[in-house]
Structure 1
């Protein structure tokens, strides 16, 4: 069979205050188009359908439309699990009757031990979990880490393997050797949630969610993070987002990446303020793209964010590339007794390595006169 592997939709997420529902709907349409064009037999969503446990009404409506469209309108089997951003209880409401339309949504660890069979493949759907859930499931007080929990879970899953079929694990966790990006919630404490990939080698394919880069497990040809459909942080600006197509007819399974094109991209620009504001300077962005700017200037710039937004309306981050290292100057008694404007000018030059402009000197003089006038009242 052939299935599509995606994850980390994070419906309802905002990017530095900007709503992403329009971008998420566009990404979904591309995912559906790939699924139909490739004639997949099922769609796998490996957790984090929502961005938070209590999603807003708009986010609920958007995800509901996506799932109904995919499963009821296009008649595609959907296999999904809850992630660490989802509320397992809320997301799992109604899952008992969802299966009647081949929408298999699993939100408890116990359900992962009973595979869902589609075509020639058994799917073990393991939602995000904490060790105590597995400790309670097996009534074993010795289970205290994710690794110990996975040893017990994988052993139980292997006992349910049908040797005549392929076996796929769908899970949402941090597998050993992968790398985080900034937009993931870092839930590990001392490596608590890291799962050794060696524990997973008896599966023909492992469809992972939780990390937002598809490259997170490059050394594992049959264990993949799909990555998020959108760029959710500046650290992902250079990433190519997409989904995996998995064919189980071969041994090992055949895995093919299908890219998605962002409706509005996330772009990092690094240049001087004058160049950025120069209309003759062309940059690979549109008015609707999200932009992170690294300023190369070392001088202060008044109202810098507001002025940059006149050209790049969706700035999500602004930082200085060339930070100055200042060594405090030790002043003599005579130097400290100089007039305030001279002291301020010296301090400004020490900090910025630039002299005050005539305009800045005028502002400073006006401010000093106002302060002195107020002190005499």
Structure 2
């Protein structure tokens, strides 16, 4: 059986206010063409289908169109699970009639113990869940109350869930798992290079590859780079789109999908890269370099989005930095500074805030960020706001 392994679509994602829907639509078309060209038997979406639990109308209609094109127009089965960004209960609808068209969507823990069976493979689908979900499930299963109370971490839960799945194994078939968790190579190794809220998997506890060793192959979502895969048979597909600067800095890793072919005697995996429609380019240069034509003419001006860090910038220049950079480069989705040089005016960060009036704090903050003083109109606006706040007190 041949799968297209994808994950972390995050439909509806934005980048500092810029919609990524067009980029996601582009990646989807490329992904679908890969599936057709490679004559896959199914498309896997290993969680984080949407970017948020309550997606926007545009996100819902976009995903609906994508899923219809895969499943109805091209008659390709879909194996999808919910991730930590998805609203599991909101996604859990119409399962019975969806399965009639080979659209298998698992969002709840109790559904994970009903594998999909083909002539060669058992496909287990384990959505993202937290330890409390496992407590509820095992309490309903009649597990001893003390054992239920001992489910505190995701590792505690998995030590029950995975063996229960293994009891369902058909010895005559390969066993494939689709899931959405942070999985490390071993207990003493942490996952780096993640797209979650910190560089250590969003602060989430990680599982280990050894816990999944009974499965022939595990298709994971949650970490946005395939290079974080903890074992040869426990793999992340990575996200199909660059979602932030951290991911853009890992440009050499590429974004794309895996084609996974499972046969009775072997499992083969091939990575297919997806080129972005509008790339996200990260520049970290001095102000003089950024304004130097010999430098910026080598950049994909007006063809890409730019995330720019200005090094050693002198705030005394008193210029509108973003406007100047957008005049040269086009769309600047993120602007930051490194080792900023300041003029001789007082720095609010170096003063005792109790010695400054609220108006002065705002004035100093504005100057720190923009390099300019507040105009008279802006000062009057700030003053009016603080007057109104005092009235409410």
For the superposition of Structure 1 and Structure 2, which TM-score range results when normalised by the shorter chain? Answer: 0.7 to 0.9
Go from structure 1 to structure 2 and tell me whether the alpha carbon gap of 1:189 and 1:2 turns closer, same or farther (over 3 Å shift): closer
Quick one: distance in 1 between partners of 2:94 and 2:199? 28
Quick one: distance in 2 between partners of 1:187 and 1:146? 20
Residue-pair matches, total: 334
Summarize the alignment of residues 206-355 of structure 1 with structure 2, pairs less than 5 Å apart. Answer: 206-217=218-229, 219-237=230-248, 238-239=250-251, 240-249=254-263, 251-281=265-295, 282-300=297-315, 301=317, 302-323=319-340
Q: Check whether the contact 2:52–2:86 (CA below 8 A) recurs between aligned residues.
A: yes
Quick one: distance in 2 between partners of 1:195 and 1:111? 21
Q: Does 1:163 align with 2:171?
A: yes
Quick one: distance in 2 between partners of 1:190 and 1:268? 22
Q: What is the match of residue 153 of structure 1? A: 161
Quick one: distance in 2 between partners of 1:276 and 1:186? 29
Q: TM-score, normalised by structure 1?
A: 0.82
Go from structure 1 to structure 2 and tell me whether the alpha carbon gap of 1:227 and 1:221 turns closer, same or farther (over 3 Å shift): same
- Tell me, what secondary structure is at the counterpart of 1:101? coil
Q: TM-score, normalised by structure 2?
A: 0.79
Shift of 1:294: 2.3
Q: Check whether the contact 1:222–1:255 (CA below 8 A) recurs between aligned residues.
A: no
Quick one: distance in 1 between partners of 2:283 and 2:342? 23
Shift of 1:192: 5.4
Q: What is the match of residue 16 of structure 2? A: 16
Q: What is the match of residue 69 of structure 1? A: 69
- Tell me, what secondary structure is at the counterpart of 2:329? coil
Q: Check whether the contact 1:71–1:77 (CA below 8 A) recurs between aligned residues.
A: yes
Quick one: distance in 2 between partners of 1:199 and 1:48? 22
Quick one: distance in 2 between partners of 1:309 and 1:233? 19
- Tell me, what secondary structure is at the counterpart of 1:269? strand
Go from structure 1 to structure 2 and tell me whether the alpha carbon gap of 1:190 and 1:213 turns closer, same or farther (over 3 Å shift): closer
Quick one: distance in 1 between partners of 2:334 and 2:120? 48
Go from structure 1 to structure 2 and tell me whether the alpha carbon gap of 1:71 and 1:189 turns closer, same or farther (over 3 Å shift): closer
Go from structure 1 to structure 2 and tell me whether the alpha carbon gap of 1:178 and 1:21 turns closer, same or farther (over 3 Å shift): farther
Q: Check whether the contact 1:4–1:245 (CA below 8 A) recurs between aligned residues.
A: yes
Quick one: distance in 1 between partners of 2:161 and 2:200? 20
Q: Deviations over 1:197-236 (max 9, x none)?
A: 111011111110111111112x511111111110111111
Q: Check whether the contact 2:312–2:340 (CA below 8 A) recurs between aligned residues.
A: no
CA RMSD of aligned residues (A): 2.9
Go from structure 1 to structure 2 and tell me whether the alpha carbon gap of 1:201 and 1:6 turns closer, same or farther (over 3 Å shift): same
- Tell me, what secondary structure is at the counterpart of 2:149? coil
Quick one: distance in 2 between partners of 1:99 and 1:208? 22
Go from structure 1 to structure 2 and tell me whether the alpha carbon gap of 1:235 and 1:194 turns closer, same or farther (over 3 Å shift): same
* Residue ranges of structure 1 left out of the alignment (5+ in a row): 330-351, 353-359, 368-377
Q: Does 1:121 align with 2:109?
A: no
Shift of 1:120: 1.2
Q: Which moves more between the two structures, 121-130 or 111-120?
A: 111-120
- Tell me, what secondary structure is at the counterpart of 2:52? coil
Q: Deviations over 1:252-311 (max 9, x none)?
A: 411111111001111111333333234443233241412111223432241111110112
> Any runs of at least 4 consecutive aligned residues in structure 1 with deviations exceeding 6 A, and if so which?
187-191
Q: Check whether the contact 1:182–1:233 (CA below 8 A) recurs between aligned residues.
A: no
Shift of 1:181: 4.4
